[in-house]
Each structure stands twice: as C-alpha cells, then as structure tokens.
Amino acid sequence: MKIIQSFWSGGFQDIRDNRGWLSYEYHWLGWILSCNQLRKFYEEVELYTDKFGCEILINKLNLPYTKVHVVLDEMNKYPKDLWAIAKIQTYALQNSPFLHVDGDVFIWNKFPQELMSSSLIAQNLENTTDYYREMWNDIAPHLKFIPQDIYNYHNGLSNLGCNMGIIGGNDIEFFHEYTKKSFDFVDKNRETWDEFNLFNFNIFFEQELFYEMSVLQKKTISYLFDEVWGDNSYLGLGNFQDVPHKRFYLHLLGNFKRRLSICRFLEGSVLKEYPEFYLNLKNLIPEKFEHFDKEILDYKFSKNDNQRLVNKFMENILDNKSVIRNEGLLGRNIHLPTIYTKFDKYTQDNIDFSLLLLNCFEIEHNKNQNQENQNLKVYEFDGTSINYDFDEIDILMVTELKDKILKSQFLINMRQYLEEDITQEDVDEFNKLLMNRLRYFLECKILVLL
C-alpha cells in the first residue's frame, strides 16, 4: 500500500498564508516534519499537488517525496474554502491501495499491518455532536441537492462520522464511487455556494458522506483508534511530549495548530531531527528567522551542531545561575524532547533522579476582580515568550526547587505544606499531584532532569 499526501493552494499562491495555523512558518514546519517522519518509516511517499505546492515543497524546501504528481491546478475552478475537494480528487486518481496522510499528521512508527490490509481505513470514528449538527443545520436549507446516502444524517437518524487525518484502503472501487458522489454533492450545489459557509461544508462532502456510504453498503471501516471521539474533543493528539513512548501518532487538527506552545514543540522537533530542512525554510522566509542572524550567529543547522548546543547548555546550567538566553534556550529546546521519555520511565519504575529548575522564566502576578492569579512567562530563544497557567502549588514547588534536588527529597520537603492530620493515602495522592506538576514544569521548559 502506497503512502500519499496532497497539497492544494486553492489558487492562492501566497507563501505567507497561514492556512489555519497560528502563523505561516508553522504551516511549512508541519509539512517538513510530516513528510520526513513518513519517509523515516516508508520507502515510498508520493505527493499530489499543484504548481505552487511543487515550487515550495519540492523546489524550495526539498522535501524527500519519492514521486510528485503536479495535477491539482485544475481544482482552481473551486473556491479555496473548499479545501477538501483537492483531497477528493487525489483519492479519485488512485488505482491501487493507498493511505492518504494529512500534512498536519506526524508519525513515530509504521501504521499497524492489520490496519494497512483493510478494505477501508480512517483515523477514528467520530460522534458528531451539536458542534457539527449546528453547522449542518445552517448549510442544509441552502442546498439544492443532498445525496440519498446522507439522508440518515440529514434526518437526525445518524450522528457518526469519520475523522480523515488518515484515509485509504484496498477497496479502490468504493473510492471511485465515493469520490464521484462527493463531486456531485459539491457541483450540484454550485449556484448556492455564496449562500452558506463553504469551509464548514467540507466536513459533509468528505467525511460524513464517506461514513454514511460505508454503512449503507455494509462496508467495514478499520480505524487507527478504537475509541469514538466527540467532534471537538481530540485530547492528546497535540502532545509532542508523549512521543514516541506513549503514542506514535499526532494530528494537529483544529485549535492545536493555533496554540503557541504546540507550535513551538513542532518547531523544536524539526530543529532536533531535520535542521537542514529548517534552514531551507529560513532561507525561504528569512523575516521569520532574523534572530538566528542577530543572536545565534554560530548555529550551523546540523545534528552535530545540535549536540554542541545541548552539551554547552548542560554545562552552563550546572556552572552558573544566570538567566538563560538565545543560544542556551535553543539548546534547551533541542534537548527537552529526550527528557519526557526518561521522566515517564523513571516515574513508572520508581527510579530516583535529580531535578534542576532553569532560570528562563518569570512569574507575573495579576489582579482580576479582586482576585490575584499567577502567570508563568517562559523565555524562548528568539526573544519572545510563552505564557502558561501557574497555580498556588506551583509557586510552592518553585521555592523548593531553587537548588538542584533529588526527586525523593523534593517530595519529602513538600509535605510541610500539608496539614498535620493526614493519612498515608493523602500523602500518596499529594505525591501523585506533585509528579503531574513536575511533568507540567517539563512541558513548560523550566525544568530538566540530571
């Protein structure tokens, strides 16, 4: 089964279009990581795109696709908001088993062989709650044509659909029928396109139609995930700190790609694993990476230089307590992805370890409606910062972490903040809370393990 991806510009050839991301550099960083991670596990990964996509992804970023099909310019007759129509066209062009992987999906292992041998494949079954139902109720009154295949959904008799972060299978005949009906669904409503939200319409002519057709034809869809998720509740699929030891698959759908902390994790992953491609992007949109030319001049964008930065970072944090800036923070970001696995393994195996709080943050106190709350402001290597929620317990933890300390001693020291009349069960629950908060400190990039 071949792995494919698709990119369509929608006729909008602006490299600075963020395409749903927090900012446009993260959109391209996503493509860098997605393609390279697929190539790490699969010998052949093909791209279906238009001329603009070929120019950026292949000629400029030099992504390692094994074959490129420049076939999607003909889709420019459709509005850019109908972004899924190019995916439908890509499915329609397939004549052999395939798996389409979205450009905001990242893997750290091969897909299960049992999944890849299935007739139909999707990411997961989705419970289409009020979030999707409200969209449909806004769209449906304006439609001149609704395929019979989704009458059950239209009439409220079905509330399930498929998430298509991945989609494919071995039943090519079904895909040819499905894509024809999907095009009919879109084309036969052309005269009313300006009367409803085209962006939301994608959900229904792609994933809802796919699911309802499979039900009517009694086709079995195999899912990467067994659980049924709500259409707006994909917890964990943006957790870079959980790969590869807790999960092998991330999908930055919806708000995930607009959260700064997640986008920074994405950037750190590209810097750590694919620095040469990061350099390609820097050369393409230099205005987003000026800090390298001003503050981190010696960085060579290579894995060897990554190791130099990490070694220097570790030496410096042990030798002095000065505020970490620029190159040191870059070393921190490259080093941190290796820590989460270690923390989780040590915690699971009850192995002791040393903790060191980094001097790379400040705690801001804000008064709101006569209530004071705290905000954690963490410095980044480009001179910016990221804000995180910070609780009262976190303030106490910072006090106890002011010097390097063993985890076991830290837990003992924190007991002073408990009431005297407590049980061992209370202590165990408190320790569990503290371990969760320590992991949160790691995720905030203010703590390292030694």
The pLDDT-based confidence of 234 (bands split at 50, 70, 90) is: confident
Are 243 and 324 within one domain? no
Q: 73 and 19, same structural domain?
A: yes
240 domain-assigned: yes
User: What pLDDT sits at residue 271?
Assistant: 98
230 and 294 housed in the same domain: no
Q: Are residues 40 and 143 in the same domain?
A: yes
Are 231 and 373 in the same domain?
no
Q: What is the mean pLDDT of residues 385-398?
A: 95
H or E stretch covering 69: strand 67-70
In this structure, the answer to whether residues 92 and 181 fall within a common structural domain is: yes
Residue whose C-alpha is closest to residue 99's, from 2, 18, 9:
2
CA distance 5 to 38: 10
In a domain, 73, yes or no: yes
pTM for this predicted structure: 0.95
**Structural domain count of the chain:** 2
In a domain, 224, yes or no: yes
Does one domain contain both 192 and 319? no
Q: Which residues of 426-450 are buried (b: 16+ CB within 10 A; e: fewer)?
A: eeeebeeebeebbbbbbbbbbbbbe
Which of 251, 273, 307 is the last residue in one of the domains? 251
Residue 131, pLDDT score: 85
Residue 229 counted as domain residue? yes
317-373 pLDDT per residue, tens: 988 778 999 999 999 999 998 999 999 999 999 999 999 999 999 999 887 766 678
Task: Please tell me whether residues 191 and 95 are part of one structural domain.
Answer: yes
Tell whether 187 and 321 lie within a shared domain. no
**Which region among 189-193, 200-204, 227-231 has the lowest average model confidence (pLDDT)?**
227-231
Are 194 and 339 in the same domain?
no
Binning pLDDT at 50, 70 and 90, where does residue 231 land?
A: low
Helices assigned H by DSSP within 169-254: 172-187, 198-203, 209-216
Question: What is the end-to-end Cα distance of the chain in Å, rounded?
Answer: 44
Is the distance from CB of 196 to CB of 138 less than 8 angstroms?
yes
- Residue 271 resides in a domain: no
Q: What are phi and psi of 45, to 5 degrees?
A: -135, 120
* % of the chain residues with pLDDT over 70: 99
Share the mean pLDDT of the chain.
95
Q: Which of 304, 314, 361 is nearest to 336 (CA)?
A: 314
Contacts for 339 with CB less than 8 Å, ≥ 6 apart: 442, 448, 449
123 and 229 share a domain?
Answer: yes
d(CA 78, CA 202): 12
Q: Tokens 């230089």 label which residue?
A: 305
Residue 235 pLDDT greater than 90, yes or no = no
Instruction: Please indicate, yes or no, if residue 27 is contained in any of the structural domains.
Output: yes
Handedness of CA 18, 383, 441, 279 (dihedral sign): positive
Asked if the bond preceding 112 is cis, omega within 30° of 0, the reply is no
Alpha helices by DSSP H, listed for 127-257, are 130-139, 151-154, 172-187, 198-203, 209-216
* Residues 266, 30 contacting (CB under 8 angstroms): yes
Query: Cα–Cα distance between 199 and 19 in angstroms, integer?
Result: 12
Q: Work out the pLDDT band at 28, boundaries 50, 70, 90.
A: very high
Q: What is the pLDDT of residue 361?
A: 97
Pairing verdict, β 160-169 and 221-223: unpaired
Asked if the structure places residue 347 within a domain, the reply is yes
Any domain includes 216: yes
Query: What average pLDDT does this structure show over 164-176?
Result: 98
Domain hosting 327: range is 289-449
Tokens of 211: 């699911």
Q: Residue 200 in contact with residue 138, Cβ under 8 Å?
A: yes
Q: Are residues 197 and 331 in the same domain?
A: no
CATH for 70: 3.90.550
Q: Of 205, 230, 251, which residue constitutes the final position of a domain?
A: 251
Q: Is the pLDDT of residue 16 over 90?
A: yes
